[in-house]
Copies of this chain bind each other. A is one copy, B any other.
Amino acid sequence: MSDLSRLSFNSQTAKNWPLPELIEAAARSGLGGVGLWREPVQRTGIERVAHLVRAAGLEVTSLCRGGFFTAPDAAARRDRIDDNRRAIEEAALLGAQTLVLVCGGLPPGSRDLAGARGMVADAIAELAPFAGEHGVVLAIEPMHPMYCSDRGVISSLRQARLLAERFPAGQVGVLVDAYHVWWDPELAAELALLGPRIAGFQVCDWVTPLPTGVLTGRGMVGEGAIDLRALRREVERSGYRGLTEVEIFSTRLWERSGSEVLAEACRQYLAHVV
């Protein structure tokens, strides 16, 4: 049987599949890990999920998501920091290696991109030691520039790296998601510079036309424009030794059964990534 032990399955790829079933199926299929999201974890019960993944022998390669640090006023920013502290505690409870940070877009009505980026840096500075104490790495996720205004003002690997490097590697790293970074002319150079800062590696594929809102039109691994095998090799050449996580937001996939989507993700991973 082909080896899936380096593969992790992000639960949002089959978001309507109850977590206990998803975890059981991932383990039975021979996967090495799962990526989790806070809301479904809370619905199932965090203690229960923590027990299930441990019993199944699965790594939790990521917990999604912290971040959303950009807010118009100090009180709102304080609330978000507090929420991120809870997320860090949840990640620690689950044994998750990273908390993924989707850093937030421009505050409503604002055009102050530099200011928003400053808010992100300030928030990470405040949270980094707390994350380190909990054994959780904050994984800054540079978002595709098409999300700059409304989801994530950290737009490139280089920008994420320069921000992460202000902190110890045990506190802050960078998540490399193929969907967000595949186009970057600096990709190879930045991966080499990132080295041990790579805190996670996610794959899906780039397919067009993009749907309205550009959020839920990701392609299954292997059906799009990204040379995922070459990217996986570059990521590993930089020293990354973690799992490869399949994370796909797709209205088309969400209509199908979770077990079918998992099976397809495994096949496509073997055909196009390893």
A45 within 8 A of B: no
**Alpha-carbon distance between A184 and B227 when the two chains are bound, in angstroms:** 24
- Min CB gap A146→B, angstroms: 4
- Describe A's contact surface by its main secondary structure: loop
**Alpha-carbon distance between A145 and B145 when the two chains are bound, in angstroms:** 7
Establish whether residues B149 and A225, one from each chain, have CB atoms under 8 Å apart when the complex forms: yes
Residue among B113, B183, B186 making CB contact with A148, cutoff 8 Å: B183
A208 to chain B: closest residue by CB:
B150
Q: Which residues of A30-44 have CB atoms within 8 Å of chain B's CB atoms?
A: none
**Alpha-carbon distance between A211 and B146 when the two chains are bound, in angstroms:** 12
**Alpha-carbon distance between A186 and B114 when the two chains are bound, in angstroms:** 11
Establish whether residues B225 and A214, one from each chain, have CB atoms under 8 Å apart when the complex forms: no
Residue among B155, B185, B209, B226 making CB contact with A183, cutoff 8 Å: B155
A28 within 8 A of B: no
Residue among B144, B185, B186 making CB contact with A146, cutoff 8 Å: B144
A187 to chain B: closest residue by CB:
B113
**Alpha-carbon distance between A112 and B229 when the two chains are bound, in angstroms:** 12
A159 within 8 A of B: yes
Provided the pairs A146-B214, A210-B212 are in contact, do residues A113 and B159 lie with their beta carbons within 8 angstroms? no
Q: Which residues of A105-155 have CB atoms within 8 Å of chain B's CB atoms?
A: 106, 111-113, 117, 144-146, 148-150, 155
Across-interface contacts of A213 in B (CB, < 8 A): 208-210
A240 within 8 A of B: no
A158 within 8 A of B: yes
Establish whether residues B159 and A111, one from each chain, have CB atoms under 8 Å apart when the complex forms: no
Across-interface contacts of A212 in B (CB, < 8 A): 209-212
Provided the pairs A155-B184, A185-B158 are in contact, do residues A227 and B145 lie with their beta carbons within 8 angstroms? no
- Min CB gap A74→B, angstroms: 22
Q: Taking A111-B225, A113-B225, A149-B206 as given, write out 14 further A-B residue pairs in contact, using a Cβ cutoff of 8 Å, ordered by the A residue number.
A: A106-B225, A112-B227, A145-B184, A148-B225, A149-B224, A149-B225, A155-B184, A155-B185, A158-B185, A209-B212, A209-B214, A210-B210, A210-B212, A211-B212
21 A-B residue pairs with Cβ-Cβ distance under 8 Å, sorted by A, are A112-B227, A113-B182, A113-B225, A113-B227, A145-B145, A145-B146, A145-B184, A146-B146, A148-B206, A149-B183, A149-B206, A149-B225, A155-B183, A155-B184, A156-B184, A156-B185, A156-B186, A209-B214, A210-B212, A210-B214, A214-B214
A residues bordering B, Cβ < 8 Å?
106, 111-113, 117, 144-146, 148-150, 155-156, 158-159, 182-186, 206, 208-214, 224-227
